[in-house]
Amino acid sequence: MSKLVTIYGGSGFVGRYIARRMANEGWRVRVAVRRPNEAMFVKPYGVVGQVEPVLCNIRDDASVALAMRGADAVVNCVGVLNELGKNEFDAVQADGAERIARLAAEQCIARMVHISAIGADAEAVSEYAQTKAHGEAGVLAHMPDAVILRPSVIFGTEDQFFNRFAGMTRMAPVLPLVGAGTKFQPVYVDDIAKAAVKGVLGQAEAGVYELGGPEVKTFRALMHQMLAVIHRHRVIIGIPFWVARIMAGMLDILKFVSFQLFPNHILTRDQLKNLRHDNVVSEDAKTFEDLGIEPTTLESVLPEYLWKFRPSGQYDDIQNSAGNLRT
């Protein structure tokens, strides 16, 4: 019988790419998610019965243990950018990650891959970064041979970075940015999946890898590149941090007093703390090079999914060519 991998959060942005690649490797894939009915799209990644969504609550021992029963490896892709309900940073990124590793060790599962984030630091001022670091520590305490991947900002068809800001260009002639000078090293989602697969297959040494793309650019420069791809001209306005702090505070207060009826999906105070720091690979870190993976460039991927934000969508280039003929 082929080997089995359980991927926690396997229907999410990163998880689905790992699930597809593991199925291509011939493994059976168990996709552990909160809402299996919404994860049925992963089933065609393999032959009938090869990829199966299962119910799992990462905050519950019994649920996590059942999802990994009989598995040869586990991958944890669960994380939150914004706290909502019981899915708080501590519960998901620290306790949840530690729980998966502890139960995997108890079941004598050979390998674990954990998706963290660049900037994970127990001494950070951001709770997001703190809990990412606590999650890594919890994983290594129980699975010392785990492979931990720390990506920079991730791009790809379903991303919430370029898609979000490209969508904003439809609504106004200006594009406001907080932390316009902050540096990022965008990494393609499928490159992360390649790294995770190497970890599952035992083709990567244990340890922490920081994953960034081939280019380091400021937030402002990335938005200029995005605007060129979607054929739109917008004025980029950098919002000072002191103004952003007031905005984020008001939005967080609204979320609190409304008992989360109005969740803050715009800008939180914790996200603001992260935006003060560059999100790039450290000089002494293990990287894609150590995994034998050549990272994908932005320019080779962005046009494949951002075309829908162009003024005339997929026909924009055709219309521009026709306009040149008329002149």
Whole-number pLDDT of residue 287: 98
- Tokens standing for residue 309: 């934000």
Instruction: Give ∠ CA 156-157-158 in degrees, rounded to 5.
Output: 95
pLDDT in tens, 157-171: 999 999 999 999 999
Closest CA to 71 of 149, 148, 143, 150: 143
Domains plus CATH for the chain? 4-155+186-213+280-295 (3.40.50.720)
User: Does position 322 have pLDDT exceeding 70, yes or no?
Assistant: no
Whole-number pLDDT of residue 259: 86
- Tokens standing for residue 161: 């970075």
User: Does position 317 have pLDDT exceeding 80, yes or no?
Assistant: no
To 10 degrees, what angle do helices 97-106 and 61-68 make? 50
pLDDT in tens, 103-113: 999 999 999 99
